[in-house]
């Protein structure tokens, strides 16, 4: 992910196969309530998943309603 999300969507974690790693910025938008997000590393194993906070970061928030791209590279629905 290239933008911060409040929590990593479970459907992204579900796509990881055993040994797969997902790194994402997680946290509330930077403002009065929070000063940064954390870069989080999710690892899928045979037993499940593990989560590790790596470093504090500041990313722009994920925006809703942007066009999606299909796996074949064509545009999709918003």
Q: What is the pLDDT of residues 35-76, one digit of tens each?
A: 678 999 999 999 999 999 999 998 877 777 755 555 565 555
Entry pTM: 0.70
CA–CA separation, 64 vs 33, rounded Å? 21
Domain boundaries, the chain: 10-57
At 78, is the pLDDT very low, low, confident or very high (cuts 50, 70, 90)? very low
CA–CA separation, 42 vs 2, rounded Å? 15
């Amino acid at each position: 992910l290239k933008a911060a999300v409040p929590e990593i969507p479970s459907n992204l974690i579900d796509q990881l196969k055993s040994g797969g790693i997902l790194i994402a910025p997680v946290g509330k938008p930077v403002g009065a309530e929070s000063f940064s997000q954390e870069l989080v590393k999710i690892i899928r194993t045979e037993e499940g998943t593990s989560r590790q906070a790596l470093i504090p970061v500041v990313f722009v928030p994920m925006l809703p309603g942007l066009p999606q791209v299909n796996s074949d590279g064509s545009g999709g629905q918003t």
